Structures are given as structure tokens and as C-alpha cells.
Amino acid sequence: MTKPTPFKVGEAYDNFADLLDQLWGENLHHGYWDDESDDSSLEDAAIRLTDKLAGMLTIKPGARLLDIGCGVGAPAIRLATEHDIEAVGISIAQGQIERANERAAAAGLADRLNFQVADAMELPFPEESFDIVWAMESLHHMPDRWHVIRQAARLLRPGGQLAITDFMLRSTGGKTADASSVDLVRMGALKLVELDGYRAELRAAGLEPDGAEDVSDNTRPSWAKAAERFEAARDAAVHHIGEGQFETTLSRFRAFSDEPAVGYVLLTATKPA
């Protein structure tokens, strides 16, 4: 059986747009909670995670940013608003791109933001054309995340920065788990990388790793909140994906929430000047 093309995957995302909205809201990524007493909504916590990653960068007014896997544009719109930058966002989902451009226009940012359909494995931009490459919870979807990172390094100007949020294989009990021992990895539900391995791949791409912050505990509530919303949207979800896939997805959300080896990291790296 042949694998679906990236753009067929994009069509699937667009077909589930309403369901994704109910599940994650405008930000199609995890949230950040300060501690167990933090009762912020998933929407507010997702914005906080965007700000947390941005705070690890040096963002100068007028900088040019590429958002890989931009969704419907929420992080790029926030970054452009807060930091007075220009941004290009890419996604393989045509519907997401249309919505992102509509939202940018509604925010009065159409002159500084542009969203377009493109495959992250074949980024259609000239070398050294961005000051920042931003990949927020998108690289784990890629057929080869290291290829995308090499592409990002090619596009960064000297002194430019790469910003990533991604899932990682986390240490528990003082030892890093073997990825093959994590059931959800064996099933192919999530591709986990150990932090040291991530840093090595960044260096291999010609980048110098900077900050790395393990925010696993702060982001873990996202899984349980997503499970609650998915359960509440059962009828709509079953209509789209069927009863069997619904139960599988729901069980995975709950399993991710309970699996201590499934971690979450914020990473930045710099292209040497």
C-alpha cells in the first residue's frame, strides 16, 4: 500500500477542521500551566506556551520569521503583534492556510504576514532568507524531522535562531527510558527523541544548541483536557473517523497523560555568524 502524499494528509486535516477547533481551539498545540493550582483554560495556556518559547529568543522588530506547520496562524499572528515582525507560515492543509490569511487580514497584519501551502520536506525559499525559523509542535509529524531541521538551517541567516517545541523521551527515576519500551512509541503513535540526541542532530545540521527547557510537567495537562473535549465531541468525532478510531484516539490521549516517559521540550539553536 502506498503512503498518502503530504497534501493528501493536508486534505485530511481540512476535513477535520471543525473537530480540531473543538479539540484544541485556535492554537493547535499544547498549553503551559504554572503548577497544579493553575486553572487556566487550554486556550490561555496555549498562548502562554507560545510566549514561553518566544521568550527564549532574541526577537528584533522587523525580523523575518518562518513558521513551519503554522496551523491557522495563531502563533505567527501573536508574534507579529507582540514583536513587530514579518512572518511566512506554511502548512500542507489548504484550508488552514486560507483561514490563517483571513485571520491575518482581520488583525490588520496582511502586509506583514503571509501564509502559503508548502511541504516542510521541500521548503521553497532561498538560502539565508529568515532570521527565525519556528516549528511549534510540528516536527513530530514530519517523515524525517532531521531533514526539516537541516532545511531550517539552510534558510537561516548567520546569527539566526531556530525555535522548536517537540515531544521527547524523558528521564524517569534518574534513567532515560528506552523508546522501544514505551508502548505508544512501539505503536507508532508518537515519535520520541532523547534530548541529547536532539542536540546532536542540531549540531550535525550546523546549528549551535542554546536553550533547552523540559516543560513536561507544565504541558502534561493538555492531554487530559484534550481527552475531555474529545469525549464531549464524541458524536461529531465518530461521524468523521468512526467508532473504532475514536476509541483508539481517546485511549491514546489518556495514555499520553499517564506516561511519564512522554516528555515535552522547548529548544532553541543559533546558526553561527
Domain extents in the chain = 6-270
pTM: 0.88
Q: Which CATH superfamily is domain 6-270 in?
A: Vaccinia Virus protein VP39 (3.40.50.150)
CA distance 175 to 102: 47
Kindly provide the b/e burial profile for residues 35-44, where b requires at least 16 CB atoms within 10 angstroms of the residue's own CB: eeeeeeebee
Residue 68 bridge partners (DSSP): 90
Confidence of residue 193 (pLDDT cuts 50, 70, 90): confident
Cell 468512526 locates to: 242
Query: In this predicted model, what pLDDT tens digit does every residue of 217-266 receive, in sequence order?
Result: 999 999 999 899 889 888 888 887 889 988 988 888 888 888 888 899 99
Q: What is the mean pLDDT of residues 33-37?
A: 93
| Residue 76 φ/ψ, nearest 5 degrees | -65, -40
CA distance 89 to 107: 16
Instruction: Tell me whether strands 171-172 and 208-214 are parallel, antiparallel or unpaired.
Output: unpaired
Cell 489548504 locates to: 94
Q: Are 8 and 93 in contact (CB under 8 A)?
A: no
Q: Are 75 and 39 in contact (CB under 8 A)?
A: no
For residue 22, pLDDT over 80 is answered with no
CA distance 10 to 12: 5
Query: In this predicted model, what pLDDT tens digit does every residue of 128-157 receive, in sequence order?
Result: 999 999 999 999 888 899 999 999 999 999
**Helix or strand holding residue 77 (H, E):** helix 74-83
